[in-house]
Structure 1
Amino acid sequence: MSSSPVMVDGTNERTVQAPDVSVVIPVYGCRNCLEELVDRVGSALLPAAGSYEIILVDDNSPDNSWARIKELAERQPAVRGLRLSRNFGQHAAISAGLKFAAGQRMVVMDCDLQDVPEEIPNLLAALQGDVEVVLGQRIDRQDTWFKRTGSMLFYRTLGWLTDTRYDHTTANFGAYSRKVIDALNDMPETDRFLPLLVRWTGFKTVKVAVSHGLRTEGKSSYSLGKLLQMAGRIALSFSDKPLRLVMTAALMIAAVAAGFAVFSVYRYSAGDVRVAGFTSIIASIWLVGSIIMGCIGVLGLYLGRVHGETKRRPRYLVWQDTREQE
């Protein structure tokens, strides 16, 4: 973090004071809607914030979004662009934006205009008193049936694996206090998932109903398979439930095996067993062997996550910053 952010007080005048609101937007595959996005965010913030900054984080978007971000940053002092060295993922891009943001209040939103910029004042208005987190609740989602179903399955799977309840109508779109963002920036883990990290802080959270826009640019990079894979990865990073499931399965199998052993001894004592069954022995060996390999696999996954964390590699690498090019 080199240069201090540029703030705007409803004009193009540069000041040195920290902004009232920082809006962090990860960018991937939405080059053509960035100008409209910035204009609408700025128009929404003018009456709701004394000063603001808009941080666009290019997560190595394949459509050359960085060129458009640089143009916007040159024309509008409120815009700051960060370009990551490669595609680190949406939540790593959000983490980069939050690390560079200087606002006393933060707004996180997607770049595809489905998070409606005009709802930002409503989120900020609810961020008062002892409320530290305000989440936008998408009551009427303008997504395809397949995407809504995939999102619901993702959050239900994640909730089951982490023993928590998630509302699939909420996502990243929300307003956060400086206290929450400082807590998130202090968290050292490399595997990031904003909703779960925010939930872990325990700060008071409210939900505000927001409208949801149609996606007019690009398409979601999250397929159902990727969502379920991400749920499993997040569960390994944030919960020990898979280990507990393995232990429960092992205990259940041990109980069944003990019962079968007692029954076999009883039949042998009664003279009902004369020749041991080859098929049952082979089946038992394969069953127990498969379970053992499964347990080792789960332990290996956890060991892999631990190995990744011990490397202490950065969560992201910022390649270019429009402020450094001024």
Structure 2
Amino acid sequence: MLISIVVPCYNEQAVLEHFHRRLDHHLATAPDTYEVLFVDDGSTDSTLEVLRRLAEQDARVRYLSLSRNFGKEAAMLAGLRGAAGDAVVLMDADLQHPPELLTRMVDLHRQGYDQVLARRTRAGDGALRTITARLYYRLVNRFMDVEIVDGVGDFRLLSRRAADAVVSLTESNRFSKGLFAWIGYPSATFTYDNAVREHGTSKWGLSGLVDYGVNGVISFNTRPLRAALHLGLTLVLGAVLYALWIGVCVLVRGVDTPGYATLLTAVTALSGVHMVMIAVVGEYVGRIFHEVKRRPHYFLKETHASTAAHPGPAVLSPPAPAPKAVR
């Protein structure tokens, strides 16, 4: 069985050779045939030069280099399109996804599972990060149409049919965790100890994590829109009750002039609610805007064999026109 290992990388020159040595050490005793497909997501350091050298030294290594930084989601899609294996493993180059777990993944795949998920523990994470992560997963699982498991990331094995199913989903705003859960198929999960990055620095900042989290909530449901409707109805009910209360106070105590504090508080609160509602609607409209343009997810700049055709369309073809009626 041919196993494709897809490794998205962005500015990982410091760890790539160490990652390859450790991976090669493990694959030397593996019973299956492996190929390693690196996807350079428009790195600005010497990542591409390292990949060229690795491809020359190891016949199992291939690489794709994108024309610019399109993001990890696009890099994973490019890798899935280019993978030729009977099964595809997605893993990071920073060694937080231990190569030693590949054998366990393949063994579970042989038992009939289309998806094998590696769930990391949170040992070593700070208390604040652990609490916020757990709260986030509880929130998204309350709103999303699919279930996202805490600790399960991109480190997973996909069968050929599962990988083809993910590739067939051509949406522009991709949230792979949700896509993997949405396609279904039998899956197995095992837990491994959290590993620290050995070289380099993380490319995920606070703003990037927040944007990624919002994308996950918005991409798989319309409940925020329904929540905005419920909030609006609640405010209307509150306004009616407040008006009735003012009327009762006038009847009981006579005419009373409300103070400016109440008015300013109400105006400020309603203005904030309106802005939140507009922002929620704008998020969905923005996604529609990106989807209808049907832009490609990425462009290739270079491959391990630049004259070879990229296995899989990089540009989405427009829908065929409807046939005209013949009179």
The 5-angstrom pairing of residues 22-101 of structure 1 reads 22-101=4-83
The 5-angstrom pairing of residues 100-119 of structure 1 reads 100-119=82-101
Q: Please state how far the C-alpha of 1:165 moved relative to its aligned partner.
A: 4.7
Q: Distance in 2 between matches of 1:79 and 1:143?
A: 33
Q: Distance in 2 between matches of 1:49 and 1:278?
A: 78
Cross-structure match for 1:10: none
Q: Distance in 1 between matches of 2:198 and 2:133?
A: 19
Deviates more, 1:104-113 or 1:270-279: 270-279
Q: Is the 8 A contact 1:55 1:80 kept in 2?
A: yes
Alignment deviations for residues 48-99 of structure 1 (CA, whole Å, 9 cap, x no partner): 4532210001112232200000011111111111111111111221111001
Deviates more, 1:272-281 or 1:184-193: 272-281
Deviates more, 1:26-35 or 1:199-208: 26-35
Cross-structure match for 1:8: none
Q: Is the 8 A contact 2:146 2:178 kept in 1?
A: no
Q: Distance in 2 between matches of 1:289 and 1:195?
A: 35
Deviates more, 1:254-263 or 1:136-145: 136-145
Q: Distance in 1 between matches of 2:43 and 2:221?
A: 31
Amino acid at match of 1:185: V
Q: Is the 8 A contact 2:116 2:187 kept in 1?
A: yes
Cross-structure match for 1:293: 275
Q: Which structure 1 segments of 5+ residues have no match?
A: 1-18
Amino acid at match of 1:306: I
Distance 1:107 1:142, change over 3 A: farther
Amino acid at match of 1:198: F
Amino acid at match of 1:263: W
Q: Distance in 2 between matches of 1:64 and 1:150?
A: 35
The 5-angstrom pairing of residues 146-165 of structure 1 reads 151-152=133-134, 154-162=136-144, 165=147
Q: Distance in 1 between matches of 2:273 and 2:259?
A: 22
Distance 1:134 1:282, change over 3 A: same
Q: Please state how far the C-alpha of 1:316 moved relative to its aligned partner.
A: 1.6
Secondary structure of the structure 2 residue equivalent to 1:259: helix
Q: 1:308 aligns with which of 285, 290, 299?
A: 290
Deviates more, 1:137-146 or 1:116-125: 137-146
Distance 1:278 1:115, change over 3 A: closer
Q: Please state how far the C-alpha of 1:167 moved relative to its aligned partner.
A: 3.0
- What is the percentage of aligned positions where both structures have the same residue? 30
Q: Which structure 2 segments of 5+ residues have no match?
A: 309-327
Cross-structure match for 2:324: none
How many pairs were matched up?
A: 308
Cross-structure match for 2:115: 133
- Root-mean-square deviation (CA), in Å? 2.5
Distance 1:289 1:57, change over 3 A: same
Q: Is the 8 A contact 2:2 2:86 kept in 1?
A: yes
Q: Please state how far the C-alpha of 1:43 moved relative to its aligned partner.
A: 3.6
Q: 1:171 aligns with which of 138, 141, 153?
A: 153
Secondary structure of the structure 1 residue equivalent to 2:154: coil
Q: Please state how far the C-alpha of 1:325 moved relative to its aligned partner.
A: 5.3
Distance 1:68 1:144, change over 3 A: farther
TM-score by length of 2: 0.85
